[in-house]
Amino acid sequence: MTKAFVLINTDSGLEKLVHEEIKSLEGVRAVYDLYGEYDLMAIVEQETDKDVAGVVSWALRKIKGIRSTNTMVVIK
């Protein structure tokens, strides 16, 4: 099982909307609201790193209102 932490910046005022949409994606285990440099953090878990990349690149990053992401894949 591969796990990644995805830090997310959203357009101002769309945090709640983006949170709800991310939460509904297959492979997303949790979504947290943050203070500081990033607005949200999603925990993505899939069978392989390729599957994690698919969720991040082809689903999560396509959500309207997301400005940028920073993905950290867990190695241990």
Domain range summary for the chain, segments of one domain joined by +: 2-71
Looking at the chain, the whole-number percentage of residues with pLDDT higher than 70 is 100
Length of the chain: 76
Question: CA gyration radius for the chain?
Answer: 11
Task: Output the pLDDT for position 33.
Answer: 98
Question: Minimal CA–CA distance to 7: which of 61, 76, 46, 45?
Answer: 61
Local confidence band at 74 (pLDDT 50, 70, 90 cut-offs):
very high
Task: Output the pLDDT for position 76.
Answer: 84
18-70 pLDDT, tens digit each: 999 999 999 999 999 999 999 999 999 999 999 999 999 999 999 999 999 99
Cβ–Cβ < 8 Å for 15, 63: no
Token pair in block for residue 44: 């993505």
Q: Which CATH class is domain 2-71?
A: alpha beta
Sole residue written with tokens 């509904």: 24
Cα separation, 63 vs 52, in Å, equals 16
* pTM as predicted: 0.94
